[in-house]
A and B are shown apart, each in its own frame.
Chain A
């Protein structure tokens, strides 16, 4: 939904309050702007309007005009133009702003409409909130408290429907709880472009299901769980694991690609239970891919590095930093930075490379883009490496040329900041020729070959910023404490920089950002604290000519046609 730069503003009236809104704004959104809540279930700002739940019924009126002369009819009592109120209530979701439109949301008719719809929705809905997984984040629960009567007149048998249908590998459906709002159906069709859901049977016996022979298994299936207003669609992974009101919410960023979908990490007592999308209309709307929601599981993976090691023996950080500095001083160094590191870490990585007079490399990760929220560039922060000056061009597909330098003896020490060098194209033989200093989260061939291993933090365990494919700098926050034995990347890097003879730089965001702002021109006016939750667009002109690998995604169009494989260095 790109709004025109100067939208036609129209004045409408919500409960006596005037508000100017762009033409075509529906009345739920208009009311929201003046702080009036119009309850609704089926309406979703990012989906088509179907008007089936009838919860948003309001009274609507238009300014009275004389049918013959078209002159406004004035009310002598108030001196204002009279309003002709419609006899029947109207759904606010399908009522778009037109000049002078009035709605009332507090009248007895509206109250009664809401009570009626609430009662209808609840008669066949299980009234077992205490054992329902949606409790605490259920629209039905909230709005029944807010707008319902508080008692039931229903003494008949409730309808019986399937209780736990696996719609796909990640989504479980409780049909009795479904209020048939069709949000999930519309999402699948309109956003995920995978039309698999539909209703069978009719009337109150209507049942949500997949089309015969199909499954809800696209990489966006869990968004249906997020938008389900009730406890019908649940995440098979998360259901019945934790009460949502115990969970702490932390703003984060999806790291699976350069899209940088905004997310919320839900955790309790240092344990993450789920990751859900966070609305950012310029990046991911209200969606995220399923694949990004399970990344947190790597935190507790058995391969997580838990101790600092020097030459294979457990050591402390001080001796590891010293050992690393010695090795760097003794050899010809190459620094392999990462497109997964944060802007701040990349800044320090660059400082390290400068201190040891090494060339900095970047590892590229390219997959298939889905034109929605997973892009071809599977690094979340390649543009950060450009912005901070860690690298001046795009990374090549493999580290072959670094391997050649190793073979030629031009490099004898490699510092890898979180990158598995064998996965990036170096052979075990090449690794054995150099002393490897590895900063990372998980064990792999590189950590096994490394002389110095320093465990660091995963994205969920630290603060930082990424620059996404739009050159939008977005920040994320620490959701849970770091794993045992792990040290914040910033601490490790800043100590390595100074141990290698470089400047003394801050080891936390507060003390580091002034240095970043001073040295990195595009970030000169910023600090970690003043980046808004939806990010800030940076000036991308210096990098316009680069052949980025991404095709279009939800809110991104590549500047030039995506580069061909062959044309890349």
Chain B
């Protein structure tokens, strides 16, 4: 759906090509409707945010403080910075007008007259493409003071970040647009829906989410909600990276494909002579899943509760199932690791990332993320102690749930889950480290 045209031979990112393929027809239709109807469609669609948290989009819109008399802003979160995720970039690069159309429909539905696209600093090309696309759309009257002659006006601005992961956190992103350090705000009281950008009510939506809005406005919320599985509607883009034969981005109906199908059938299975060892299902901050582990419990199926007993390969790729087994669908970045990977070294890599990206505002994350990095760094540099795994877990436990923003969880969950699932490997690591690696994999130093 969202990726319908991406990678089609001859499909380019200019306006003419987009319009040739039916582009902006949905916007034409939508601006003739009542804004409230569109909000209702999105609510009915059951669309959940594709940025990471999976918060229902329609609910987010209804939480907006519309009585304050202040302007309402839309902020498009194009700060795709979760390691393992690379879907928004392709939308921006290859089909930017689809995003713009989604933005304009969202703005119209929520009576927004100013939208900001916050694009991460590492996407200079994406920013250039968006600027060009906005100029084209403005020339064609899809964006601007009088959209399609309706008298409704809305401007879109592109704001480039300066290269910080935390700018993907919605309140940090808002601070960054305001020209400050992207220190996430405390909630309460600074919920974006009430006190967002410039202390005005603000919607912050992910790029992919907004593209889905276009398709919801097109098909109707009811019809959209039939795609995917209940409570996990629509399609979503999964970005598979790591040790599979065919890594890449794939769009599927949510929950209609299992992890096993994705990895073995779609992505062609493990590399020759290798076996899967672990999967991080939703971007690097999601908790790791171990191959061979069984996940048991009860789940809702319609009105009933049914028992389930899944191996990793049986897990449906949807928000609820992944949350149920203790991880998350997150941003859709599926990171696959095979048996060549040392989990200690993998965690050292992840910890290095999170300690580099911690904004430094609140104590547990600021100090804890660097401490964890220093521990795993020391371990892979040959000074591991058997007790380090337990220490790591305890440090992570002191972070999660005690910070201003979700970064606390993002940096603690990898450590917590790596130790929980691969604790033995951490315990044995001091010994492992002493013997040279037989498989010829270069040592991480």
Contacts and interface: CB of A to CB of B under 8 A. Distances in A.
Contacts of A51: 186, 362, 404
Majority DSSP secondary structure for residues of B touching A: helix
A57 interface: yes
A246 interface: no
B366 A206 contact: yes
A202 B401 CA distance: 21
B402 A57 contact: yes
Contacts of B18: none
B164 interface: yes
Interface in A97-123: 112-113, 116-117, 119-121, 123
A120 B364 contact: yes
Nearest to A89: B402
Contacts of A120: 363-364, 366-368, 371, 398
B321 interface: no
A202 B361 CA distance: 8
Majority DSSP secondary structure for residues of A touching B: loop
Contacts of A88: 401-402
A54 B402 CA distance: 7
Nearest to B356: A203
A94 interface: yes
A202 B186 contact: no
A157 interface: yes
Interface in B347-401: 355-364, 366-371, 374-375, 378, 391, 394, 397-399, 401
Nearest to A93: B186
B403 interface: yes
Given A51-B186, A88-B401, A113-B402, A124 B362 contact: no
Nearest to B187: A94
A154 interface: yes
Given A54-B403, A202-B358, A117 B363 contact: yes
Interface in A161-197: 179-180
B10 interface: no
A534 to B, nearest CB: 31
A206 B365 CA distance: 13
Contacts of A206: 360, 366
B188 interface: yes
A55 B397 CA distance: 16
B290 interface: no
A204 B403 contact: no
A89 B364 CA distance: 13
Interface range on chain A (Cβ under 8 Å from partner): 35 or more
B374 A157 contact: yes
A204 B403 CA distance: 14
A116 B391 contact: no
Interface residues of B, number: 34
A180 B357 CA distance: 16
A53 B398 contact: no
A204 B352 CA distance: 12
B5 interface: no
Nearest to B403: A54
A202 B402 contact: no
Interface in A43-57: 49-55, 57
A91 interface: yes
A156 interface: yes
Nearest to B181: A199
A52 B358 contact: no
Contacts of B402: 54, 57, 88-89, 113, 116-117
A180 B364 CA distance: 12
A245 interface: no
Interface string A62-96: 00000000000000000000000000110100100
Given A94-B186, A123-B371, A53 B366 contact: no
A105 to B, nearest CB: 15
A54 B364 contact: yes
B367 A204 contact: yes
Nearest to B361: A52
Nearest to B182: A202
A371 B261 CA distance: 71
B360 A203 contact: yes
Contact of B363 (A49, A54, A89, A94): A54
Nearest to A205: B360
Pick from A54, A180, A201 the residue with the most CB of B within 10 Å: A54
Contacts of A119: 398
A559 B397 CA distance: 58
B363 A53 contact: yes
B361 A116 contact: no
A54 to B, nearest CB: 5
Nearest to B387: A153
Contacts of B360: 180, 199, 201-206
B367 A52 contact: no
Nearest to A158: B374
A123 B361 CA distance: 16
Contacts of B186: 49-51, 91, 94
B394 to A, nearest CB: 8
A204 B356 CA distance: 9
A112 B401 CA distance: 12
A19 B234 CA distance: 51
Nearest to B166: A202
A152 to B, nearest CB: 11
Contacts of B363: 52-55, 117, 120-121, 179-180
Contacts of B369: 203-204
Contact of B374 (A156, A201, A205): A156
Interface in B154-186: 164, 181, 183, 186
Pick from B357, B360, B368 the residue with the most CB of A within 10 Å: B360
Contacts of B364: 54, 116-117, 120
A154 B391 CA distance: 10
B188 A94 contact: yes
B378 A156 contact: yes
Contact of B358 (A117, A124, A203): A203
Contact of B164 (A52, A57, A199, A202): A202
A179 B361 CA distance: 10
Given A52-B404, A89-B401, A89-B402, A180 B378 contact: no
Contacts of B362: 51-54
A533 B53 CA distance: 54
A202 B354 CA distance: 11
Nearest to B377: A156
Nearest to B367: A120
CB-CB nearest 10 A-B residue pairs: A116-B398, A120-B367, A206-B360, A156-B374, A203-B358, A204-B370, A51-B186, A52-B362, A203-B360, A88-B401
11 contacts: A52-B361, A94-B186, A113-B402, A116-B402, A121-B363, A123-B371, A153-B391, A202-B360, A203-B360, A204-B366, A204-B369
Given A120-B367, A204-B369, 16 more contacts: A52-B183, A52-B363, A52-B404, A53-B363, A54-B362, A88-B402, A91-B186, A94-B188, A112-B398, A120-B398, A121-B363, A121-B367, A156-B371, A202-B357, A204-B355, A204-B370
